[in-house]
Amino acid sequence: MAVQMAAFARALPEPLTEEEGRIFDAFYARRAYLGGLPLVILHARFPFLREAILDLLDDPVDPLRVGALLLLMEYYATMASARRVADRAAKQRASARPNPSAKGRGRRPKAPSGAGRRHLLFCSIAEEFRKAFGVDCPCGPLADWSASFPEGDTNADPIVLQFDCASCDRSERREAGRAEFIEVSRRLQSQTQHV
């Protein structure tokens, strides 16, 4: 990547200014402290590392600034690892619980009631809007999306939806008209009733 980006910089019709070149190199040149990879390889973690990266851009070779970035990366790795362990443990506990609705063979599992149905409907609506808005992340098909109302007001117009990917911590907010939200809800409800 570093060679490709260096060729790109040389191919520009007007050369980068000294300041632009310094920032360009900070992001795209190989960094020994990242195992010979460029800083841009961490783009999925930029929200978490933002302050350290901005500080590093002021002086990319300052060992204290590099150390601060590496320390934050270590904190992130520790937190992510602990989160994965906790998620696995929660998943194991959930799968170990007996399912009372599946006692007899051939029985269909009990359909979700009330709040469960509303949650499934909301997830379906949010997924429709996420795709329509083009909200995506580097995880591709491995993305673990969830949606919520960050403002807490479901009666607002427009409705604010927040999309979060648990795999890479990407988060985006988008607005949807209340009438459009209701129309998608009705369409999805009618589709599930015909199934």
User: Is 98 part of a structural domain of the chain?
Assistant: no
Residues 63 and 120 in one domain: no
Contact assessment for residue 109 and residue 99, using Cβ atoms and an 8 Å cutoff: yes
- What torsion do the CA atoms of 135, 138, 141, 147 make, to the nearest 10 degrees? -40
End of a domain among 76, 97, 129? 76
Q: Per DSSP, what are the bridge partners of residue 161? A: 174
In a domain, 95, yes or no: no
Is there a domain that residue 85 lies in?
no
Could you give the residue ranges of the DSSP H alpha helices within the chain?
2-11, 18-28, 46-58, 63-96, 114-133, 178-193
CB count in 10 Å sphere of residue 39: 22
Last residue of a domain, one of 23, 56, 76: 76
Tell whether 54 is covered by a domain: yes
Q: In 16-33, which positions are buried (b, 16+ CB within 10 angstroms) versus exposed (e)?
A: eeeeeeeebbbbbeebee
Q: Are 137 and 165 in contact (CB under 8 A)?
A: yes
**Total domains, the chain:** 2
- Reported as half-sphere exposure (CB side, CA atoms, 13 A), residue 136 has a value of 6
Same domain? For 57 and 119 the reply is no
Residues 133 and 184 in one domain: yes
Decide if 131 is inside a domain: yes
Within-domain flag for 99: no
> Residue 146 falls within a domain, yes or no?
yes
List per-residue pLDDT tens for the chain, 195 residues long.
778 888 888 888 998 898 888 888 888 888 888 888 888 888 888 888 888 888 888 888 888 988 888 888 888 888 877 788 778 877 877 776 665 555 545 555 555 555 666 677 777 888 888 888 888 888 777 777 787 777 666 667 778 888 888 878 888 888 888 788 778 877 877 776 655
Q: Are residues 138 and 188 in the same domain?
A: yes
User: Residue 116 in 3-state DSSP?
Assistant: helix
Q: Which of 22, 51, 76 is the last residue of a domain?
A: 76
Q: Which domain holds residue 38?
A: 2-76
User: pTM here?
Assistant: 0.43
Which helix (H) or strand (E) is 31 found in, with range?
Answer: strand 30-31
Question: 118 and 188 share a domain?
Answer: yes
In a domain, 151, yes or no: yes
Number of Cβ within a 10 Å radius of residue 74:
10
